[in-house]
Chain A
């Protein structure tokens, strides 16, 4: 890990900032590989959501440089440079993208503030073309309401269903970005079921459930996500996730509460 430097601060706070930075240096890993890869992943969730393009999803390849600092309000700012690869790798083609990002974790509050710029790996026209092709593929799908468990238990994804997985991941990216904190980091483990799938007016109305894997607690979190995607337009997402059951509270939480989209959305 590259050396960490204390934040520049006016001298009364310098000692505090220094102490905090030093503490961070000896700190336990915030997640697999430490704070830097996790910050990079959070930035990518945000980037993927903002790009709104299921054919152009990016995944972390490697962190090249980074540094973190904590301010007096215990907010952690991470500056990084990292390379990316396609989320859905194809045979042969493997062009690495490069991003620089600033990630601000707000003292254990979720929704980190992300500033990210990346080199353009695919030019805009090509990306729109691929999204449109993907949309056409999805239009052809017969009754994906039967679909459960993608990937299946053996990690297999039927090629015809891959577009659904990509679109589900896109919606999940929004959820995962929103829920990320300095200590909580998410992966999409599985698309567990399709509740609704409608294609009309050039848009896909997709209502589904995913299982998210939170790394530091190892918990599996079921989320119901409802998105509307149209190639070239911003993604609209609503979601509701079930949270960990406490030992005393057992009022029908598991499978009991109707999982209706109630949370914050950008609809």
Chain B
């Protein structure tokens, strides 16, 4: 069963180290061709005190050679990782439960992970050398997307460049595409996708949109006028750690992967970590919650990177943050029912954008402020953007309305991107025609 993958993480081995350890330890075994780890699990146990620690050491004595401590019992509050062979799982779990030892399943099938590792390593040698064979109607891994970005920038270097704006918690690069036909610090539009990692349709839409922009420049009058006057910044993988996790372990992971000492659950909801109404009712202070706002505003590097970039740029005039699912186009505020000062203008713009979207495939979106259309949400991107002076701040919730939800079939990527493009273009056009 695909669990929610919540496990404690304290100081100690980072996931990269752990993976290296795993690979190195087992590659020898695999080479010998004898070992099979199917069904084996790695449990993470949190011992609260010395007594519990000694119970864990007793486990080793009870099951000599049968349990394999990857991170042995050292002190209370440091997690203990133990690989348990499939045949011993029942006994070991019963032992832990009987003694009140809290545990979570860090790896639910070691063999699966090994196989994936092997495949990933083989794959990295096969990564595409150009964007012409890249499939815009499939979902991709982080590596494939980053490889595509490099190729894309190379192929369209007259208009597109790549900027690294920071690092994720697990030290992955945070990348932004810049579309520009010249000028210096022009008025610009910011678009982000993938802030919630399980919303795969958003990254896919971002990629397609990037391609659309370069294809339409010089062909579509509206887009050409926009790009001649303004720049576009697009961050496709806003939450790279979470996204990698949706591929490796938990397809429905939403948050980032940040950990803090003494806190059992992982991750902060990046769309509750902004400095606007932070910590309000539309977020949660329980670190195990999907809407955990984090310890403080902008505490997350993924959010801080964007804040720093946009603030330093100083000339962003529209911000579009893309999510799924529900089929909605919304503007601030999420944190309260208070209408923004240009509420009427935003309402009408949303109406036009949704109309343009509908014209493509007949898909109906509803629109309005976030708090009245979706739910009260505190510390969100678009509220911060608006409060920072970005008058045209919008949030999308793409297809569908629940039949497939986050698991939207890949066959819907292109139609979704096509219709969303018309809405985005409408917003950009309005921004261009209403300078401020």
* A interface, CB within 8 angstroms of B: 26, 28-34, 41, 59-60, 62, 87, 148-149, 151-156, 187, 189-190, 192-193, 209, 211, 213, 215-220, 222, 244-247, 250-252, 254-257
Contact = CB atoms under 8 A, between A and B. Distances in A.
B113 to A, nearest CB: 15
Contacts of A156: 409-410
Contacts of A154: 138-139, 407, 409-410
Contacts of B96: 252, 256
Contacts of A193: 1
A222 B290 contact: no
B288 interface: yes
A219 B405 contact: no
**CB-CB nearest 8 A-B residue pairs:** A155-B409, A250-B102, A218-B290, A255-B105, A32-B326, A187-B402, A155-B407, A151-B407
A155 B408 contact: yes
A25 to B, nearest CB: 11
Given A29-B372, A217-B284, 13 more contacts: A28-B376, A34-B373, A151-B409, A193-B1, A218-B269, A220-B4, A245-B265, A247-B263, A247-B265, A247-B288, A252-B101, A254-B104, A255-B108
Contacts of B2: 148-149, 190, 192, 211, 222
Contact of A211 (B100, B102, B252, B401): B252
B4 A155 contact: no
Contacts, number: 140
A246 B288 contact: yes
Nearest to A169: B403
B286 A190 contact: no
Instruction: Classify the interface of chain A: helix, strand, loop or mixed.
Output: loop
Contacts of B288: 244-247
Contacts of B3: 222, 254-255
Contacts of B284: 217
B371 A245 contact: no
Contacts of A32: 326, 328, 373-375, 397, 401
Contact of A244 (B289, B326, B405): B289
B287 interface: yes
Contact of B290 (A41, A220, A250, A256): A220
Contacts of A62: 364
A156 B412 CA distance: 11
Contacts of B7: 254
Interface residues of B, number: 60
B319 interface: no
Contact of A190 (B252, B290, B337, B403): B252
A219 B290 contact: yes
B93 interface: yes
Contacts of A251: 97, 100, 102
B371 A28 contact: yes
B92 to A, nearest CB: 11
Contact of B139 (A30, A153, A187, A218): A153
B282 to A, nearest CB: 9
A28 B264 CA distance: 32
B6 A220 contact: no
Contacts of B252: 189-190, 211, 213, 220
A256 B373 contact: no
A185 to B, nearest CB: 9
User: Which among A59, A155, A222 has the greatest number of chain B C-beta atoms within 10 A?
Assistant: A155
B251 interface: yes
Contacts of B373: 29, 32-34
A250 B52 CA distance: 14
Contact of B254 (A148, A149, A192, A218): A218
